[in-house]
Amino acid sequence: MICPNCNSANTRKKSVIYDEGTYSSTSTSNVRGSGASATSTTTSSGQSKLARKCSPPQKMSVIGYFLFIFLLFFIGQMIVLAFWNPDNHDLIAKGVTALGGVLALLGARGSFMFNRKEYPKLMDSWNRSWCCLKCGNLYETEE
C-alpha cells in the first residue's frame, strides 16, 4: 500500500503494527530461602509507542459504566449526608440513590448503543487503517 503523503511503499497495517508492538511474557523463577522454596511468577507486558498509537478501538463496559455511576452517587450521598445530617435524611438519600440509578441506566444504555452502533464502525475503520513507517502518516483504504 503506497502512502498518499510521501509515496513510500514502507507502510503497514495498523493491526499488524499493534500485534508486533505488543508483548506479554510470563517468567517463572524459583526463589530459595532457608530450606523452603517458593515459586515466583512475573508477568510483564508492554507496548511500543507506535503500537499504542495503532491500538484498536475499545468497547465500552456496560456493567462497569452502570456500577461506576451508581456507586459514585451512592458513596457521594453517604459522605455528604454524614456531614450535613438534615431532617429529611432518608428522603434525600432515597432520592439521590434513585437519581443515580436512573443516570447509571442511561449511561449503561449509552455504552450499549456505542458498542452496538459505533464500535463496529470504528473497528472496521481500524481494520482499514494503515500507517506509513517513513513519514508517520495514518490513512484509511476503501476496503
To Zn ion, the closest distance from the beta carbon of 139 in angstroms equals: 9
Stretch that binds Zn ion, among 8-16, 49-57, 87-95, 112-120 (CB under 5 A): 8-16
3-state secondary structure of 41: strand
- Interaction of residue 116 with Zn ion, rule CB under 5 A: no
Alpha-helix residue ranges (DSSP H) falling in 22-129 = 49-53, 62-84, 89-113, 119-127
d(CA 98, CA 74): 9
Determine which helix (DSSP H) or strand (DSSP E) holds 27, and give its type and residue range. Answer: strand 22-32
CB of 11 to Zn ion, least distance (A): 7
In the complex, the smallest distance separating the C-beta of residue 18 from Zn ion, rounded to whole angstroms, is 18
Return the closest-CA partner of residue 14 out of 58, 59, 53: 53
At residue 68, φ and ψ (nearest 5 deg) are -60, -50
The number of beta carbons lying within 10 Å of the beta carbon of residue 45 is: 9
| 1, 2, 5, 125: which one binds Zn ion (CB under 5 A) | 5
Size of the site for Zn ion (CB under 5 A): 8
Q: Is residue 8 near Zn ion by the rule CB under 5 A? A: yes
Q: Given candidates 1, 6, 71, 138, which one binds Zn ion under the rule CB under 5 A?
A: 6
Position 137 contacts Zn ion (CB under 5 A) = yes
125 near Zn ion, judged by CB under 5 A = no
Q: Is 134 in the site for Zn ion (CB under 5 A)?
A: yes
Asked if residue 138 binds Zn ion (CB under 5 A), the reply is no
Neighbours of 129 (CB within 10 A): 17
Q: Which residues bind Zn ion (CB under 5 A)?
A: 3, 5-6, 8, 132, 134-135, 137
